[in-house]
Amino acid sequence: MFKIRSLAAVLALAGSVSIASAWETLPTVAPAPEDNATTAEKIELGQMLYHDPRLSSTGTVACASCHNTMLGGEDNRPNSMGVHGQTGGRSAPTVWNSAFNKVQFWDGRAASLEDQAAGPVTNPIEMGMKSWDDVVARLKAIEGYQQAFEKAFGKEAISKDNATKAIAAYERTLITPNSPYDKYVDGDKAALTEQQVRGMDKVAELGCTGCHSGAAFNGAGMFQKFPVIANGYFEAQYHFKKDKGLAEVSKNPADEHLWKVPTLRNIALTAPYFHNGSVKTLEQAVALMAQLQLGKELPKEDVADIVAFLNALTGEFPKQKMPVLPGTPGTTFN
């Protein structure tokens, strides 16, 4: 499930990635697993489930509450808010282009979008349902969902497995191609400004693409230690090491502070930054990454150039028509 490189291997990779090989455009279609082919009926059902707060115990929190598809695919909070106003310890990762992640969640504990979709619904802090059996019973009591599940999966099809497959099918449509960067790589040399090109070159020169590699700038499922370089001053400010990352799941001390490499796509829209949402601006995030991962204090001009390039990774968001959720005439669950 986990694909983890040693720090030495990561640094070696960073030095070996050429500028030419690093630049890939984003595909417009995401691959689907053999047991969950993408269909229009699954996408329609998944979009309803994704936006339905009735999948939470209080009827107030939907997937979209923390992963807002009307903006950057998350909620711009340091820590997302779940049922009863509770907050967790991590910042919500973006759902945009999550189909190109090899693993899901900051700690990579879910191997697929289907696995990921199952987790928050029964998390006591997030959506708070006691069990998926309770979720299924609720969905079966809604006539509109009976019809939607039948269209997508056949008769008597309401189940946890099919609900998570539908949500994942919808999430695989959340792709943001045709950013200025993509257009530039495709041959439109006017798509980036001179400053953005300088930032692009600096990203390659510094070795950022050693981890943030591939079309989604997400390392294709690799993990990386963060922070690499201990710094008591920054730790006192940002508390990066309070959360042990992958080790929280694996319980292996060797995995402490290992994190799934996050995508850089649309990063200009997803402040605050890092796993705990402790850094408010992209400028701060770039400067901190250089110091804590590379041991370099970048001049302000370099930071500005890199930030300009990162802004060029904001893609085109697909047009979506918000779903009409099936009603429960004359009654309610809450």
**Is 126 known to be catalytic?**
yes
Q: How far apart are CA 209 and CA 51, in angstroms?
A: 34
The two three-digit tokens of residue 93, written as one number: 């990762």
Contacts of 204 (CB under 8 A, 6+ apart): 17, 18, 19, 22
- The active-site residue out of 34, 41, 44, 126 is 126
In the β-sheet with 222-225, what is the strand arrangement from edge to edge? Answer: 3-4, 222-225, 258-260
Q: What residue has token string 């999966």?
A: 153
Q: Which of 220, 157, 174, 299 is nearest to 21 (CA)?
A: 220
Contact 194, 312 (CB under 8 A): no
User: What is the phi/psi pair of residue 9, to 5°?
Assistant: -65, -40
- Give the SS3 label for residue 260: strand
Interior CA angle at 316 toward 312 and 318, to 5°?
160
Q: Which residues are catalytic?
A: 126
